[in-house]
Amino acid sequence: MKKSVCAAAVCAMLMLSGCLSAEKPASDVSEENLILVGFSQVGAESEWRVANTENMKATFSEKNGYELIFNDAQQKQENQIKAIRTFIQQDVDYIVFSPKVETGWNSILKEAKDAGIPVIVTDRYIEAEDEGLYTAYIGSNFRQEGEKAVAWLESLLQKQGRTNDTINIVHIQGTMESSAQIGRTAALDEGVVRNANWHIIERQCGDFTRAKALEVMEAILEKTKDIDVVYCENDGEALGAIDAMEKAGLKCNAEDGVIVISFDATRLGLEYCLAGKIALSVECNPLQGPYVHDIIQKLERGEKVEREKYIDETQFDCFTITQKMIDSRPY
């Protein structure tokens, strides 16, 4: 069932203006066959998020058989809830959303379920009181991303003969209660339990933004510069922390400076990796549109879909990254 109200309106307007004859649709894909998708995006807080938005818009284009209604929630869960309710009133074919935080979705998802509209959760996941509230989840295994970062840090410190040295860690967290923050934080906490010489001397929220991370890092540097590692939960935060540390005269370098750990592996983050300022950036893949497209196409054919899909991801470090690798990156 295709409900492309806007497209039909465009069609009517074109007919009235004489630009379109009644017998032929304006484009190859006939308007009434467009799949109407409502997408609620968290915001535009990071390079990662921008790449994710661009990929979703490129995927759900008219030439691919879709009409996309896009909403930017400006980092507010209440805006996402309002947007999803509007999608329901517009009777879209599918609701897709990247949830800012894990909780608080049951009621609005019940409304979508009662309206018979399938919901696909992307990027971050949610706690739902029953499985029927969403059809599929596509995103990243954030705990695993964190475990990759902690394992790499353990190995680096071992190579440097520092397994018995006191390691002072500053931890800059992402948006609190988002699954990306929960998973990446849990992995670090586990690493601290495993390594008695690791001490988290400061833990602040950088909200996945460069500006906030700069602010919190400047405040931390007022208190101490005895820092061995800064564990940032995305590249934007890493850049902000590096800005602050360099302003305070600290060197960011895995061999003889502060070790900066990051996530996302955006092109900008990898350029800092190549410059040796970010020691490690664990990839978090924002190109999720094609995965959502596959799910919708399967649902359109009445086929069963995988309920959870984690996207394959890799990692990049300052010792092995090359310009060629960066140039080949799609985001």
Q: Does 121 bind ligand GZL (CB under 6 A)?
A: no
Q: Which two tokens stand for residue 100?
A: 């800012």
Q: Quick one: 93 or 264, whose CB is closer to ligand GZL?
A: 264
The two structure tokens encoding residue 15:
């007919």
Q: Binding residue for ligand GZL (CB under 6 A) from 208, 231, 291, 316?
A: 208
Which structure tokens are listed for 31? 């308007």
Task: Please give the radius of gyration of the chain, using alpha carbons only, rounded to the nearest integer.
Answer: 23
CB of 177 to ligand GZL, least distance (A): 12
DSSP for 96-145 reads: EE--SSSSS-HHHHHHHHHTT--EEEEES----SSGGG-SEEEE--HHHH
Minimum Å distance from CB 110 to ligand GZL?
24
Shortest spacing between CB 48 and ligand GZL, in angstroms = 3
d(CA 180, CA 331): 19
x/- string (CB under 6 A) for ligand GZL, residues 8-47?
-------------------------------------xx-
Cα angle, residue 214 at apex, residues 207 and 78 outer, rounded to 5°: 20
Rounded to whole angstroms, the Cα distance separating 35 from 2 reads 5
For the window 153-192, what string marks contact with ligand GZL as x by the rule CB under 6 A? Answer: ---------------------------x------------
Q: What is the closest distance, in whole angstroms, from the C-beta atom of residue 98 to ligand GZL in the complex?
A: 7
If the CB atoms of residues 135 and 285 are measured against ligand GZL, the closer one turns out to be 285
Find, among 252, 253, 251, 244, the residue nearest to 221 by Cα. 244
- Residue 91 or 215: the one with the smaller Cβ distance to ligand GZL is 215
Please return the burial class of 313, using the count of CB atoms within 10 Å of its CB with bins 0-12, 13-18 and 19+: middle
Q: Nearer to ligand GZL by C-beta: 228 or 316?
A: 316
Asked if 263 is part of the footprint of ligand GZL (rule: CB under 6 A), the reply reads yes
How would DSSP label each residue in 53-77?
HHHHHHHS-GGGTEEEEEEE-TT-H
Q: Which two tokens stand for residue 323?
A: 């310009």
Q: Is 148 in the site for ligand GZL (CB under 6 A)?
A: no
234 binds ligand GZL (CB under 6 A): yes
CB of 277 to ligand GZL, least distance (A): 18
Q: Determine, following the binding rule CB under 6 A, whether residue 49 of this chain makes contact with ligand GZL.
A: yes
Closest separation between CB of residue 208 and ligand GZL, Å?
A: 4
CB of 264 to ligand GZL, least distance (A): 5
| Residue 283 within binding range of ligand GZL, rule CB under 6 A | no
The alpha helices in the chain, defined as continuous H runs, are: 5-16, 47-59, 77-89, 106-114, 142-159, 179-194, 210-223, 235-247, 267-274, 289-300, 323-327
Q: Tell whether residue 80 is a contact of ligand GZL (CB under 6 A).
A: no
- Tell me which residues touch ligand GZL (CB under 6 A): 45-46, 48-49, 123-124, 140, 180, 208, 234, 236, 263-264, 284
